Chains A and B, each alone.
Chain A
């Protein structure tokens, strides 16, 4: 664990951890609201968003692409809501229509555009490029206090740290309204809480996390982190505060273990090259969920519906 680790693995791990936490926090409320798959939908429509941004600017630049992705996420959420209400279609099906249609449009646009000169394809959007976010100028732990080296940290780290901080602060500030309107929407309305706005804010926060994360780590991690850590934490405790805390821990743990397993696992097993870190992190979070679902102390349903099982 020396200079090489700091240079090659430290920043990807940190970025992975921050992305995982940023997605897991809103994921808790999405899971409780039966909106878990909104995260799935959002991360699919990121592709058309970045393609449109690329077509408009003609370059691969972080800011326009993030804006494009965010715009696409909002368009998708608006369309889902419109189809659900106007067509009286159940939310799952409405989601299925919107994200597949937008994703198909994204793929078609990509095929019709000459992107051979730039690094823009579906696989990149899915899997990200976590392994490539290395800290070139670092030459050991001492670089952590070297301003010159710190100035050359990959920009994704800063972006992800800010996003994660924003998401965490929003979660803390709006904790009570979120909890109240998630548990008992009708009661929340009688208190005068803007229930619809709270729901929209939650989805917008999730979209922010998804959009910031996909660039660094790809969509797979985003979908997995929205759902697996909160779902696993749900089976470990019956208190919301503890659940959210545990989900952040599980998310961070999955990111670390997944990255290390992908990078070093094949070598330990005597193989050669490393495997996809994004895929491994998602798979590890699934394993944690499977363990929680099998052994978690609070894995069974309580209350109404518990008898039916």
Chain B
């Protein structure tokens, strides 16, 4: 074999690769970065989303025409009347979700760092807590917080009341904490070990390495799963209705009862609740996918 030939054609050498990373959602087309407004508009509505809303309206109105009789006010009218209250309820859901996310993220970050601690026992205990709360259903954890937290706590003679919605926030922050812990651990572990070695060879301490080198790089990797978790949490806030917190689902039930349990109102009201959650969570999901895609390109 002529050696010079290989030099010429070695660049052709390729290794077979299988792509196994599962795209979590449909990958949106990549757009040129533009102004905030124009890039935001990409997440809001696309033509086929009209179809989705149309679908809701069709379901609702077909039921309306089928059952409506002239003695009752029309479905649209009833829905319109209750809409402000339901939207206020939904804002309460958002408040719960933001609070639970904040608490869960703070606790989860600590727990996640515990999972990569050099101390064997800190690592094991953090791992166990993480797995324990990750394996538990959200609803069970919510019950857990509801029933086992006292209605008020005494700190040095000062009684701080714990209303149901605060308990709900704590209950929901437990699974968030466990998931954030896994996100932190996963991001740190996924970083190439060369980063640790390079920092060590430059005489950084472990603490410095972690805070100056590792964690800043992890933030980018953690952002998409963290946002995904937030969307899941937001959708889980309706669970609070089961334990009696006056959020949108509870108010929907009360509105339906106040209208005298008309069955023709069920579909429109539930559709409306689905729709407001969709309009809040879907843009988050799209945005998450975009970030994922962007970061995977940058690396």
Q: Do A and B come from one complex?
A: no
Interface residues of B (CB under 8 A from A): none
